[in-house]
Chains A and B, each alone.
Chain A
């Protein structure tokens, strides 16, 4: 009887363990099935690099290059803003801050991570968008730049906490060794701590960027949602994610448009997957 109980529990746990993989595979297969159908009407090359996204005109033009560039622009912008600040913050917390400030900062970072993205979105809409508009004298503040700034806030908590962890786990003996050679605190951080923590910091950056690419709500609210080829970071753009969210409700099931949105889902899936795998590689290298 006891053996039977063990057997049942063991198998239950096994099923739980396999369930997550099973669902991922199912989701991916479903995406593939629905998404690949679009290539019956447009070629993959034309789909990825076509410059016009007019899904409901006749005939429909299904080129997602403007959307890819939109995502890229917002993400690169967010990375440029969040990486230096995030890594700097991690260095401050791990190495410089006195204990009390350290605890406060860590709690603050966690709070930042807890803000729902829709809330960040409307705060951005009310404060940041008008500011961008006046500072750059634009007809509208709903631009890629606004999205980048807002998303930088979303990437920061991930970057800070993982990078701080990486710095913290650098062996204390490295630090002692550098200081004992007469290095200043900053020289120790720059020449020894950062190189030693580099793979962890890279992983932190990748995971932060992964979060930005997949983000939908905030970008939809403040980037202007214009599915045209962006010519500057100060122009309205539309990202891959926002396109799916905005159009899925109105796309006719089984239409070209519907399949194209699923294909965008595949593109996003592949990008996120690649980023996560890269981050994972860096993390493993560290261990």
Chain B
């Protein structure tokens, strides 16, 4: 069953239309990649799913975005509940200037009152194990997170997100600041996580989309030009524009 469905989704930044009539259906427990040249609206689309676009002044959205059959574009949507359920990993790793431990329990602290230390310890261990950082960091959980390497920071951000127990992970070019080895390891992590989450990744890196995703959407000038199984998009695209892009004619 589809986890996220967009119907006739349009979005404007002031007078500029950034998304044009986007219709898509994203499945649970799969990795969906959104590719396209820069400025095509792929990050904007991703930020619709957790309403991060609300931070920008002058944004207007219409159409429907159903997550578990609830229209989250609706003005009555509780953003705290939505963002707990739909988490996001950013382009630049952004751990808070707190300790490693406090970064991971941040979500728990803001969402639940009176949690015990044991419970928090458990969350920290579980989340760090999920992102394969536990062995590296278990002895220095109280050191500042800002001292970690870029890759560790990005993993920590994923751990911090998992600790909130979301359903959907939105990843906005999560590997763009990482070197090829670190990128490969984060991609491996994504594959491991997909059995439990719905993952949507925006990437400008076509090879990454081909390697890691199950479904791919290709965006151009605010339109979702083509959406389908990754294999098909990369081997037998239906749309001429997709073919031109993946064969490197522009981008």
Hey, which bits of chain A sit against chain B, CB under 8 A?
171, 173-174, 176-184, 187, 191-192, 195-196
Contact = CB atoms under 8 A, between A and B. Distances in A.
Interface in B148-188: 157, 160-161, 164
A180 B83 contact: yes
21 contacts: A171-B94, A174-B96, A174-B97, A176-B94, A177-B90, A178-B106, A180-B52, A180-B88, A181-B83, A181-B84, A181-B87, A181-B110, A182-B80, A182-B81, A182-B82, A182-B107, A182-B110, A182-B111, A183-B106, A184-B110, A196-B97
**What's the dominant secondary structure at chain A's contact region?**
helix
A179 B52 contact: yes
A181 B94 contact: no
Interface of B: 50, 52, 55, 79-84, 87-88, 90, 92, 94-98, 106-107, 109-111, 157, 160-161, 164
B94 A174 contact: yes
Given A179-B55, A181-B110, A195 B98 contact: yes
A191 B106 contact: yes
Given A176-B52, A178-B106, A184 B96 contact: no
Nearest to B98: A195
A192 B96 contact: yes
A173 B94 contact: yes
Contacts of B80: 182-184
Contact of A182 (B55, B83, B95, B97): B83
A182 B52 CA distance: 11
Contacts of A192: 96
Contact of A195 (B81, B87, B97, B107): B97
Nearest to A175: B55
Contacts of B157: 177
A177 B94 contact: yes
Given A180-B52, A181-B164, A182-B81, 6 more contacts: A173-B94, A177-B90, A181-B107, A181-B160, A182-B84, A191-B106
B98 A180 contact: no
A196 B96 contact: yes
A191 B109 contact: yes
A180 B97 contact: no
A129 B206 CA distance: 73
A268 B70 CA distance: 66
B96 A177 contact: yes
Nearest to A192: B96
A183 B96 contact: no
B50 A180 contact: yes
Highest count of chain A CB atoms <10 Å: which of B52, B87, B106, B111: B106
A171 B80 CA distance: 22
Contacts of A187: 110
Highest count of chain B CB atoms <10 Å: which of A173, A178, A182: A182
A182 B168 CA distance: 13
A178 B164 contact: no
Highest count of chain A CB atoms <10 Å: which of B52, B90, B95, B110: B110
Given A181-B161, A182-B83, A195-B98, A176 B90 contact: yes
A180 B87 contact: yes
A192 B55 CA distance: 17
A128 to B, nearest CB: 41
Contacts of A171: 94
